[in-house]
Structure 1
Amino acid sequence: MHRRTWTALMLSALTSATFAQSYPNKPIQLVVPFAPGGTTDIIARTIADPLSKALGQPVVVVNKAGGGGVVGATETARAVPDGYSLGVATVSTTAANPAINPKIAYNPLTDFSPIINVAATPNIIAVHPSFPAKDYKGFVAEVKKSPGKYSYSSSGTGGIGHLQMELYKNLAGLFITHIPYRGAGPALNDTVAGQVPMIFDNLPSAMPFLRENRLVPIVVAAPQRIPSLPNVPTFKEVGLEPVNRMAYYGIYGPKGLPKEVIDKVNAGVRKALEDPAVRKRIEDTGSFIVGNSPEQFSEQIKAEFDTYKRVVTQQKLTLD
């Protein structure tokens, strides 16, 4: 090896080691790609304070809503890879939206540095109380009896609610019309009001209406039945395991993020998740704690993207 090359390698190693020891030495921005109040925002704010303590610097949550999460995700993809601007990764921003929208300015598999999946959240199909059926078997029979009669709401075209429901429709052989909204809040409001007969939504945002019997749960995407909904089957139980996919809420940075930063943030989140109060707050939303490795989270993102890319092709979905 040439002496100059060896010297360059040594300087690079020393610089990397010095950076690892000093990071972080100023506040870290954590971009939430949706408006305040949703599940993504709740989990980000729950983890931000204990992560601040673990890293020794403030972790400041910044909401950058728009484009079904694309605006905030694009900001993270374009950030300087120094660890001071990170983002919250969701299925909508890293899989569903990129699968259906060829104009998105980032590649979910190459333009980010996955760090850790913090939590996973069940998704649910729920109907208005006026819907003729109140259980899964009756739901399928009713929809098949009147193909095209019913519609469902979601948080928007290209989001997880849209594409996961389309995956379900494809496998179950059902015809239900999609009514997209600009967020889960408006979609829930119209479904609860009876303007739309059913919704595909994250469990945390739907749960208050389920508890008040203003929505009726039909089937849930979760590893096992939800304790608070003991009579509601999972998609796996009804023979549709490919639909049994939960939403994830992770942390990632732009591509090229130093391994030292990735490892330090991953360790900080894991430490934060050891706090019983933090775990309880996340679990109270209906979510499951994950806390995996960067490699495992990267594999999850790829698996979800591949799944929804197939859904878009099979269902011939477009943004129009």
Structure 2
Amino acid sequence: MMQTTRRSLLAAGGALLAAPAFAQANWPDKPIRFVVPFTPGGTTDILARVLAPRLTQGLGVSVVVENRGGAGGTVGHEVVVRAAPDGNTIMLGHIGTLGVNPSLYPRLSFDPIGGVAPVSMVALVPNILAVHPSVPARTLQELIALARAKPGELTYGSAGNGSAAHIAAAALGHAAGVEFTHVPYRGSGPMANDLIAGQINFTMTGGTVVMPLVRDGRLRALGVSSRARMQADPSIATIAEQGLPGFETTQWYCVVTTAGVPAPIIARLNAEVHRAMNDAEVRSRLAAEGAESAPGTPEELGRFMRAEVARWAEVIRITGMKAD
């Protein structure tokens, strides 16, 4: 009798140990939420909607983009941190949510870095400094001179506090020694609409958002924040070569999931992100906007995120940048 009981207990224990492995082997078995922590229309949303159908194809289940904007990306970020660690919730994070927000929002109710598991870098996107045609400046130096003559009167729009445009323009003002006024929006779409209408003076955000507007003449590009000029439009000078040497605020985008997701699932997600971002059509589309496909390993992304948190903590300390 005792032997039978012991065998039953051992069998039950083995079944419990085997259950997680079975779940991993059969993952994914239901649709995956792909959280975008901003409203539709911005670079994060655009990249997620390029990536989602290719992940759907590779994983064999629907990967559904879910926009959860608010509070500089922290609302959507928390959704992912609080999700079950089963790999069925992922997020397209970026320089703001994973590099800046840990310092810009020091009293978050969740751990923005420890609460997620890195999957893969996705892309690097240069910021374009673009003004409304009514702004009497055709070069960066002319814009800086205008800001010096009218401290605080030039307004720039962003997708919200902690967004890439907020970070980039604040860094530009600090580097140039001038004061700009930040106007945060609930997403890049509403911001771009107001910029086109002349309600704000400029923005400094991803090429995927502003380059179509520059090409059709609704905005004027004064500079690009990358280290080198964009192949997509080499006529746009870098900010560094216009009197601010060393200036660079390239946006970065990555896929993360909830902390505690098993390593085999992260490895599968990583492989599918690589496959998608190495697709010739995707790379061509990104290159047209000056962006670069940049998939990597989870370990590389983890190290990069920690370095970016340290970098931007110092920038926030020096500039006094706050969540307006």
What residue in structure 1 maps to residue 107 of structure 2? 103
What residue in structure 2 maps to residue 297 of structure 1? 301
Quick check: 1:163–1:311 contact (8 Å CA) kept in 2? no
List alignment gaps of at least 5 residues for structure 2.
1-13
User: What is the DSSP-based 3-state SS (H/G/I as helix, E as strand, rest coil) of the residue aligned with 1:237?
Assistant: helix
Distance (whole Å) between structure 1 residues aligned to residue 299 and residue 241 of structure 2 = 30
Quick check: 1:24–1:55 contact (8 Å CA) kept in 2? yes
Quick check: 1:114–1:252 contact (8 Å CA) kept in 2? yes
Moved over 6 A (4+): 10-13
TM (normalized to structure 2)?
0.87
What residue in structure 2 maps to residue 197 of structure 1? 201
Task: State whether structure 2 residue 228 is matched by structure 1 residue 224.
Answer: yes
Task: Report the alpha carbon displacement of residue 178 of structure 1 after superposing the two structures with TM.
Answer: 1.8
In structure 2, what residue type is equivalent to 1:265?
A: L
Task: Report the alpha carbon displacement of residue 103 of structure 1 after superposing the two structures with TM.
Answer: 3.1
What residue in structure 2 maps to residue 248 of structure 1? 252
Quick check: 2:96–2:167 contact (8 Å CA) kept in 1? no
Query: Of the two, which has the highest radius of gyration?
Result: 2
What residue in structure 2 maps to residue 165 of structure 1? 169
Q: Are the structure 2 counterparts of residues 153 and 27 from structure 1 closer, same or farther at C-alpha, using a change threshold of 3 Å?
A: closer
Q: Are the structure 2 counterparts of residues 219 and 180 from structure 1 closer, same or farther at C-alpha, using a change threshold of 3 Å?
A: same
In structure 2, what residue type is equivalent to 1:80?
A: A
Which of 221, 227, 239 in structure 2 is aligned with 1:235?
239
What residue in structure 2 maps to residue 259 of structure 1? 263
Which of 215, 219, 234 in structure 1 is aligned with 2:219?
215
Over the aligned positions, Cα root-mean-square deviation in angstroms equals: 2.5
Q: Are the structure 2 counterparts of residues 99 and 145 from structure 1 closer, same or farther at C-alpha, using a change threshold of 3 Å?
A: same
Which of 69, 72, 86 in structure 1 is aligned with 2:73?
69
User: What is the DSSP-based 3-state SS (H/G/I as helix, E as strand, rest coil) of the residue aligned with 2:204?
Assistant: strand
Task: Report the alpha carbon displacement of residue 195 of structure 1 after superposing the two structures with TM.
Answer: 2.4
Task: State whether structure 2 residue 142 is matched by structure 1 residue 138.
Answer: yes
% same residue: 35
List alignment gaps of at least 5 residues for structure 1.
1-9
Distance (whole Å) between structure 2 residues aligned to residue 257 and residue 60 of structure 1 = 19
Distance (whole Å) between structure 2 residues aligned to residue 111 and residue 242 of structure 1 = 33
Distance (whole Å) between structure 1 residues aligned to residue 299 and residue 22 of structure 2 = 24
User: What is the DSSP-based 3-state SS (H/G/I as helix, E as strand, rest coil) of the residue aligned with 2:240?
Assistant: coil
Quick check: 2:168–2:205 contact (8 Å CA) kept in 1? no
In structure 1, what residue type is equivalent to 2:236?
A: V
What residue in structure 2 maps to residue 279 of structure 1? 283
In structure 2, what residue type is equivalent to 1:276?
A: A
Task: Report the alpha carbon displacement of residue 81 of structure 1 after superposing the two structures with TM.
Answer: 0.7
Quick check: 1:76–1:87 contact (8 Å CA) kept in 2? yes
Which of 57, 63, 67 in structure 2 is aligned with 1:53?
57
Q: May I ask how many residue pairs the two structures share in their alignment? A: 313
What residue in structure 1 maps to residue 126 of structure 2? 122
Farther-moved stretch of structure 1 (58-67 vs 84-93): 58-67
In structure 2, what residue type is equivalent to 1:148?
A: G
User: What is the DSSP-based 3-state SS (H/G/I as helix, E as strand, rest coil) of the residue aligned with 2:256?
Assistant: strand
Which of 262, 265, 272 in structure 2 is aligned with 1:268?
272
